[in-house]
A and B are shown apart, each in its own frame.
Chain A
Amino acid sequence: MTRATLVGANLRRRLRRTILTILGLGVALFLFVTLQTVLRALQTAGEVGSESRLIVGSKLGIVFPLPLAYASRIQSVDGVQQISYSSWFGGVYQDPRNFFANFAVDPESYLSLYPELVVSPEHREAFLADRTGALVGVRLMERFGWQVGQTVTLQGTIYPGEHRFTIRGVYEAGRRGFDEGTFLFHHRYLEEIARAQGAEEGFVGWYVVGLTDPQLAPQVASTIDSFYENSAAPTRSQTERAFNLSFVGLYGNIGFFLNAIGTAVVFAILLVAANTMAMSARERFNEIAVLKSLGFTDGSVAGMVVTEALVIALLGLLVGLGGAMWVFNVMGFDAGGFLPGIRVRPETMALSGIIAILIGLVSGLIPAIQSARLRVVDALRYVA
């Protein structure tokens, strides 16, 4: 009889308890991995942004537009390869709860600045040719069951009234994590809308600047900002990655909460697991005494108890981590588009593995020490 079979026999001794412990650890690790994954997805949202594109927005804040007249001067800066611009539209489809990003872009320059927007040549042509056409992310199409060629009406929040668009093309993300839930249309159409409503014309929300070399980013950014420093509409230029990260900063303390909850979860499972391990060891003091009288050393008895705890912890890890990976990496759950590109990352896998091993070691430790210290005479007399 090998030691492994002994450990196996012990695990089967109270099979229900073993399974419950494994499942308990499993759900807790699942929760831990989920929280960490959400946290990472929020933190790394910025990684989607490119280092070779600058976003030039108003220094004052996101609601302030910039004059369209800035375009030619920015274009002339050394290191600028190409420039495009867009404006937030803030349209609502049917119900304000159906939130999705929709903005007006200068179609040709935008598509060439964003190779991540993968569009078939026919869709591209159709979109460029139609003044009221829209280019829609594939996930947004699925969400509302839209078809190419369909006319959709957005309710304006910044530009009052109902605005009709014809879906001319669908894009897919050419890079993992790039949002497939955006609605893009012609900036020219937005200007028509603004003109019809007597709103100020010739303004854009932000410029996108393509650089010839990412290394030039700081230099180009400060050159552009220095042009307008003392004007009525000063600019703030930053790399797209830094820009995206500043949005992540808006989540405020959410990260702190997710971490706090994760820690509470880990503590809770540690307690529950340690408790269970201690209980099973206590119940078996008689058997352990028998093993010892058969010649098993203190160390080997303790080792067996720890091994048992480790096996339970690792099976729990299999359930929890496996479950989370199945949900995020295989099923592709993305919280209704709220968390695009969410997946369990290697760091999270490693972290949850380390936690599982620690839980196994810590929860096995006390009963292992007790078992090792156990005196055969006392134990045979002991009633649990």
Chain B
Amino acid sequence: MKIPFIYNVRSMLNRPATTLATAIGIALVVVTFVGMLALANGFRSAMISTGSPDNVLILREGADAEISSGIDRETAQILAAFPDFTYSTADVFVVLSKPRLNGSETNMPVRGVGPDAPRVREEFRIVEGRMFEPGRAEVVVGRGLVGRMQNVEIGDKLRFGQQDFTVVGHFEAGGGAFESEVWGDAETLMPVFRGPVYQSMTLKLADPASFETAKARIEGDPRLQVQVKRESEFYAEQSEMLSNILRFIAIFVTSIMSVGAVFGAINTMDAMVASRGREIALLQTLGFRPGSVLSSFMIEAILLALVGGVLGCLLSLPINGIRTSTTNWQTFGEMTFAFRITPQILLLGLGFAVLMGIVGGFLPARRASRQVAAVGLRRE
């Protein structure tokens, strides 16, 4: 026969302070867990949403990032003429040391793009002001930089090399890494930076399914010394190292914390079992089997953990969407992104809490179930 569920609920409500303290302990572990996974997830999804699978990214052979790549004009012209593509943009890309609002310096990525860039990167959208005009010393600034860097408001001037560029607009790009960049006209920026060479080229496939054909054609062309990647895959690869590090920290920190929380849960349940010796004995005398006692105490522990888990999830929700920044070590440029909590992460947090309840509740519950009724009744 099973011990009714309401018994567990009542016994938790009987000791509100103890129940709450244990639940909050578990909740804090869950907050940390959810928060750190949201951080890793936010970074990853910002990077992944940067590239489109319909685009092909070209870098010089051997280069592992845009800053170490170089593509000459001739190569860019040959590629733009390929029949596999509709639109293309050959980009100049540099990172420049610029002051944050708080005065410290950071590396700001600056990209010179071709006239068709907004058609290649379809998420690109001016949200304020207007687009720069080709041939003029004008730039547009990604939304991620606004409010973090100096001189990025519309009308401000940014100095690159020996020349001032006027900020004429702010843009969005689907939440991706482009939003942490400044965009201007490639032909205007090229002489200011590294001379007549592009860093990368991005081409839109006429038929998204024909990536392999296009790749084979480019790699088979003896005039071209380049590597061909899907744009989305390139950015996913770039994010791999940092998101792995973030996930590793998340797991390392929370697993240590959870050990502490499990010890706490064991203590709480242990004390409950100890102080309820008579109650348990009474249950046994009434005919409840040891198995029922065991499962009843396990249910109570899981319930306790679940309360902590739900509390933790609720407490962590406000961090969703908070923007933060880190250095993308592949480009050395600063990149901003937002914490992203997903239903899966919340479920993981809850599951993690339940696990702590199970681990922490098992030993005390077993002890309760093995208690001899006569001894229990004789206790004070």
* Interface residues, chain A, with chain B CB atoms under 8 Å away: 14, 16-17, 20-21, 23-25, 27-28, 30-31, 35, 59-64, 90, 92, 96-97, 99, 155-161, 230, 232, 236, 246, 249-254, 257, 261, 264-265, 267-269, 271-272, 274-276, 278-280, 283, 286, 383-384
Which of these, B17, B60, B324, contacts A253 with CB under 8 Å? B324
- Chain B residues closer than 8 Å to A278, beta-carbon distance: 17-18, 21
- Chain A residues closer than 8 Å to B25, beta-carbon distance: 268, 271-272, 275
- Having A27-B259, A31-B253, A267-B28, one finds 18 other A-B pairs with CB under 8 Å, namely A20-B266, A24-B260, A30-B256, A31-B257, A62-B97, A63-B332, A64-B94, A155-B62, A159-B62, A246-B104, A250-B107, A252-B334, A253-B324, A261-B32, A264-B31, A271-B24, A271-B264, A275-B267
5 pairs across A/B with beta carbons < 8 Å? A23-B259, A27-B256, A92-B64, A261-B253, A265-B257
Within 8 A of A (CB), among B312-359: 324-327, 332, 334
Which of chain A's residues has its CB closest to B336's CB? A252
- Chain A residues closer than 8 Å to B266, beta-carbon distance: 20
Contact B194 A64 (CB under 8 A): yes
Q: How far is the CB of A81 from chain B (nearest CB, A)?
A: 27
- Chain B residues closer than 8 Å to A59, beta-carbon distance: 97
* Bound CA–CA A232/B65 (angstroms): 25
Q: How far is the CB of A181 from chain B (nearest CB, A)?
A: 16
The digit string for B15-41, where 1 denotes a CB below 8 A from any CB of A, is 001100110110011011000100100
- Chain A residues closer than 8 Å to B225, beta-carbon distance: 160
Contact B380 A286 (CB under 8 A): yes
Q: How far is the CB of B313 from chain A (nearest CB, A)?
A: 15
- Number of chain B residues whose Cβ lies closer than 8 Å to a Cβ of chain A: 57
Which of these, B39, B65, B161, B327, contacts A157 with CB under 8 Å? B65
Instruction: Answer whether residue B188 sits at the interface, using C-beta atoms and an 8 A cutoff.
Output: no
* Bound CA–CA A16/B364 (angstroms): 11
Which of these, A63, A246, A383, contacts B95 with CB under 8 Å? A63
Contact A250 B162 (CB under 8 A): no
Q: Which 7 A-B pairs have the closest CB atoms?
A: A24-B263, A160-B62, A272-B264, A275-B21, A268-B28, A250-B327, A61-B96
Given the known inter-chain contacts A61-B95, A90-B68, please indicate yes or no for A268 contacting B106, CB distance below 8 A.
Answer: no
Contact A62 B95 (CB under 8 A): yes
Contact A275 B18 (CB under 8 A): yes
Q: How far is the CB of B169 from chain A (nearest CB, A)?
A: 23
Contact A23 B18 (CB under 8 A): no
Contact B104 A62 (CB under 8 A): no
- Chain A residues closer than 8 Å to B28, beta-carbon distance: 264-265, 267-268, 271
- Chain B residues closer than 8 Å to A63, beta-carbon distance: 67, 94-95, 194, 332
Instruction: Answer whether residue B275 sits at the interface, using C-beta atoms and an 8 A cutoff.
Output: yes
